[in-house]
Amino acid sequence: MYDTKAIMRKAFRISKVRNESAIRIRVPGGHLDAAHLSVIRELAETFGNGTVHLTTRQGYEIPGVKLTDLGAISRHMAEMIADIEVACGVVLESPEDGYPAAGTRNVCACIGNRVCRFANFDTTALARKIEQAIYPNHTHLKVAITGCPNDCIKAHLHDIGIVGTVVPEYDPSRCIGCEACLDNCKKKITNALSFEDFAITRDEDYCLRCGECILKCPTGAFSRGKKLYRILLGGRTGKRNPRLAQTFVENATQDIVLGICRNLHRFIATYIDQSKAKEHMGYIIDRTGFDTFKSFVLEGLTLGPDVKVVQPTNPGYVYPRRP
Amino acid sequence: MMKTLRLDNEQAENAFRAIADDYTVVAPKRCAGRGRFSDTDLTTYETVESLGEIEFSAKTYFSAKSVLLPIREVMFSFNRGEAEEVRTSMPPTIVFLRACDIHALAVLDAMFLEHGGREDCYYARRRENMICFLLECPGPFDECFCVSMGTSRTKDYAVFIRPEAEGYAAEIMDDRFERYFPFGDRAHVAPRFSEEDPIPVALPRHVEASLFADASWKEYSQRCIACGRCNTSCPTCTCFTVQDIPAADDRDSPTRQRIWSSCQVKDFSLLAGNHDFRLAHGDKMRYRVLHKITDFAKTFGLPMCVGCGRCDIVCPEYISMRKCIETINTICRRGAEVG
């Protein structure tokens, strides 16, 4: 009567309530034109039970809709989902049929520099570009973007996490030696700064490029240099072996971030274990080894001298299997 | 002889270029991406080459005081025990200033030229080569209180230039600059000055030492983070420290530099024997505010604060100078009532 797999591929849910579904709406970067909310409200009140759930991945989920209504629902929300995706540069060929894929999950982002003082870049804008690089696609992949190393979006729990960093530029002729940068770095971050001969030196080996020295400086002696990105790899939740991601690429440009994102699905498609329902990327890398992953996703990219590629080594936490 | 005229854009830029050939010109400029927060601009004083670069409509984050008082100024160099005075000379420099910032020069002059009957030679050498061009204030910015402080109007400028819908209007007060403007129509041009403060401020006439004990300062201790931005942006804060700083390649030949300091940052009031008399942030703030509005005037006869409002704008904790003055007035009134 219903093809559950086809329904789920369109991002609808198979509910625990017989004959019911839930609508799921992608919001890349978690930022939406408020005008779309009226459509979300209409969907909830016309087809659902009048409530809306904010998903763990910054989308909307509208529960209590009938499986028989999915066609009408798809037509009702066609214009909205097409608009949201077009803002990312993704053109849906037939939005009146609903979403073309659900495997690659909504790209999450913290609020970024449109609002936050700590953020080192516009996370929403990058989330939209990454949406274009990885969606639509049926393979399971989670990407999150965070504006600074505070990692409020928890990019460390994603297959790919993008952390915005900034190179602090120091002009000693503007420094008054108040040590506000140093005291803060020592107390809160990695103690990467030292003060000698009435000037600050920054230890590149320890600096996380979070940019807090720039925020603290009362004279602008520290100012914003290049925006660079740290790409985290291998984070996940899940039953067996949850794991925090670790640095994969340090000092990446936005082109490198997008290049790697574009290459991910080719790696997954080549090595995925088809016998499993939806093998996650992290487990595929565990099988193929890091070097295979690296050579696939860095293919065709020019890295430049400052870019460092690192092998994550965190085995994560393992719930033992009974022998 | 005063001359007033209107110029089209090309005439104005030509005049400006000719001036910039003879003078260094420092003016407000919107510097893209230089803001503290990512993807924000910083409007601050910079050397400019054309009129088009000048930001006429926004207030600068930092004042222009670094033209006269560089953040770090080398006073002496030492060469293996021999000391030599460094005589840095500033080329003739035009600075575009608002009325309040021109009044701030009177505060700096009082300190560096008049106080103690002796000129500060480093300041004096720069000051004599500095010329003020006026930026007008058709209305106050939100944080301004120059009218209250009596600093909203000035005649102390060489040239006034205003961008208009088409071209520029100019008023030349200083004969030296007439030759740069051999064209344009004579027209009525007068700078507009702010007429009313958004929130007027009245300075207390007399402050009792009992004010120090008021609970308000404890409240400010909770709010103020002692970052010193109020000092570094202020057009009249001039505290400095003196440091001997070794050269990178020759540790035996340091230079003696005077470097901006701030009464808000750590160790400012640290004395020998590890005594520090102002540790609480509220106490530091009280010291700054009273210096600005009453203590300086006792020595120099004019308040130090010119009401530019920068300390309000730059404060990350939204602490307001105007509000603090109001608080002090309230404490004084309460004290007077109690007797």
8 Å CB contact of A175 and B243: no
- Please indicate if any CB of chain B lies within 8 Å of the CB of A227: yes
What's the per-residue H, E or C state across chain B? CCEEEEECHHHHHHHHHHHHHHCEEEEEEEECCCCCCCCCCEEEEEECCCHHHECCCCCCCCCCHHHCCCCEEEEEEEECCEEEECCCCCCCEEEEECHHHHHHHHHHHHHHHHHHHCCCHHHHHHHCCEEEEECCCCCCCCCCCHHHHCCCCCCCCCEEEEECCCCEEEEECCHHHHHHCCCCEECCCCCCCCCCCCCCCCCCCCCCHHHHHCCHHHHHHHHCCCCCHHHHHCCCCCCEEEEEECCCCCCCCCEEEEEECCCCCCCCCEEHHHEECCCCHHHHHHHHHHHHHHHHHHHHCCCCCCCCCHHHHHCCCCCCHHHHHHHHHHHHHHHHHHC
Query: B43 to chain A: which residues are within 8 Å by CB?
Result: none
Measured distance CA(B338)–CA(B210) in Å, rounded? 12
Give the pLDDT mean for A28-45.
97
Q: C-alpha B115: how far from its chain's center? A: 19
- Please indicate if any CB of chain B lies within 8 Å of the CB of A231: no
pLDDT of A245-283, one tens digit each?
A: 999 999 999 999 999 999 999 999 999 998 987 889 999
8 Å CB contact of B39 and A166: no
Average pLDDT value for chain A: 97
C-beta of residue B13 within 8 angstroms of C-beta of residue B181: no
Specify the pLDDT at position B339: 59
Chosen from B36, B241, B256 to mutate, greatest number of chain A CBs within 10 A? B36
8 Å CB contact of B262 and A119: no
pLDDT of A220-241, one tens digit each?
A: 999 999 999 999 999 999 999 9
- From A21, A22, A11, select the one nearest A105 (Cα to Cα): A11
A210 to chain B: closest CA residue: B38
Give the pLDDT mean for A299-322.
96
Give the contacts of B76 (CB within 8 A, at least 6 positions apart): B83, B84, B85, B86, B255, B256
pLDDT of B105-119, one tens digit each?
A: 999 999 999 998 899
- State whether residue A71 is helix, strand or coil: helix
Query: B62 to chain A: which residues are within 8 Å by CB?
Result: 219-220
pLDDT of B305-314, one tens digit each?
A: 999 999 999 9
B255 to chain A: closest CA residue: A197
Chosen from B38, B71, B225 to mutate, greatest number of chain A CBs within 10 A? B38
Of A113, A166, A174, the CB nearest to B71: A174
For residue B92, give both structure tokens: 């003739």
8 Å CB contact of B261 and A220: no
pLDDT of B58-88, one tens digit each?
A: 999 999 999 999 999 999 999 877 899 998 8
pLDDT band for B36, please (50, 70, 90 cuts): very high
Specify the pLDDT at position B335: 81
Of A117, A176, A178, the CB nearest to B37: A117
- From A265, A262, A260, select the one nearest A249 (Cα to Cα): A260
Specify the pLDDT at position A175: 98
8 Å CB contact of B36 and A179: no
Enter the DSSP assignment of A240. S
Least-confidence region, from A115-119, A183-187, A209-213, B244-248? B244-248
Specify the pLDDT at position B205: 85
Specify the pLDDT at position B337: 78
In the sheet that A13-14 helps form, which strands lie side by side, from edge to edge? A13-14, A20-25, A60-66, A53-54
pLDDT surpasses 90 at A31: yes
pLDDT band for A61, please (50, 70, 90 cuts): very high
8 Å CB contact of B37 and A121: no
Query: B257 to chain A: which residues are within 8 Å by CB?
Result: 198
8 Å CB contact of A220 and B42: yes
Specify the pLDDT at position A281: 94
Percent of chain B topping pLDDT 70: 99
pLDDT of A63-80, one tens digit each?
A: 999 999 999 999 999 999
- From A251, A57, A264, select the one nearest A162 (Cα to Cα): A251
Query: In Å, how far are A209, A229, A230, A301 from A257, measured between CA atoms?
Result: 17, 8, 9, 10
- State whether residue A248 is helix, strand or coil: strand
pLDDT surpasses 90 at B30: yes
8 Å CB contact of B260 and A197: no
Give the pLDDT mean for A166-183.
98
The angle formed by the CA atoms of residues B199, B200 and B201, to the nearest 5 degrees, is 120
B38 to chain A: closest CA residue: A120
The angle formed by the CA atoms of residues B156, B157 and B161, to the nearest 5 degrees, is 140
Tell me the ipTM for this assembly: 0.95
Instruction: Please name every residue paired with B74 in a beta bridge, in sequence order, or none if there are none.
Output: B257
- Please indicate if any CB of chain B lies within 8 Å of the CB of A138: no
Query: B70 to chain A: which residues are within 8 Å by CB?
Result: 173
φ/ψ of residue A216, rounded to 5 = -85, -25
Measured distance CA(A23)–CA(B39) in Å, rounded? 36
pLDDT surpasses 90 at B184: no
8 Å CB contact of B39 and A183: no
Other beta carbons within 10 Å of B299: 11
The helix (run of H) or strand (run of E) holding residue A246 is strand A246-252
Query: A145 to chain B: which residues are within 8 Å by CB?
Result: none
C-beta of residue A183 within 8 angstroms of C-beta of residue A202: no
d(CA A174, nearest CA chain B) in Å = 6
Query: B232 to chain A: which residues are within 8 Å by CB?
Result: 176, 218-219
Interface list for chain B against chain A, based on CB atoms closer than 8 Å: 33-39, 42, 44, 62, 70-72, 227-229, 231-232, 241, 243, 245-246, 257, 259-262, 265-266
A117 to chain B: closest CA residue: B37
Measured distance CA(B101)–CA(B154) in Å, rounded? 10
C-beta of residue B160 within 8 angstroms of C-beta of residue B140: no
B66 to chain A: closest CA residue: A174
Of A120, A173, A179, the CB nearest to B266: A179
**Size of chain A, expressed as the number of residues it contains:** 323
Query: B249 to chain A: which residues are within 8 Å by CB?
Result: none
pLDDT band for B336, please (50, 70, 90 cuts): confident
8 Å CB contact of A197 and B246: yes
Domains and CATH numbers, chain A: 4-97 (3.90.480.20), 108-165+228-309 (3.30.413.10), 171-219 (3.30.70.20)
pLDDT band for B32, please (50, 70, 90 cuts): very high
Query: B36 to chain A: which residues are within 8 Å by CB?
Result: 214-215, 217, 220
Specify the pLDDT at position B1: 67
pLDDT of B287-298, one tens digit each?
A: 999 999 999 999
A199 to chain B: closest CA residue: B245
Of A117, A147, A218, the CB nearest to B228: A218
Where exactly are the structural domains of chain B?
3-338
Specify the pLDDT at position B248: 81
Chosen from B29, B37, B240 to mutate, greatest number of chain A CBs within 10 A? B37
Query: B246 to chain A: which residues are within 8 Å by CB?
Result: 197
- Please indicate if any CB of chain B lies within 8 Å of the CB of A200: no
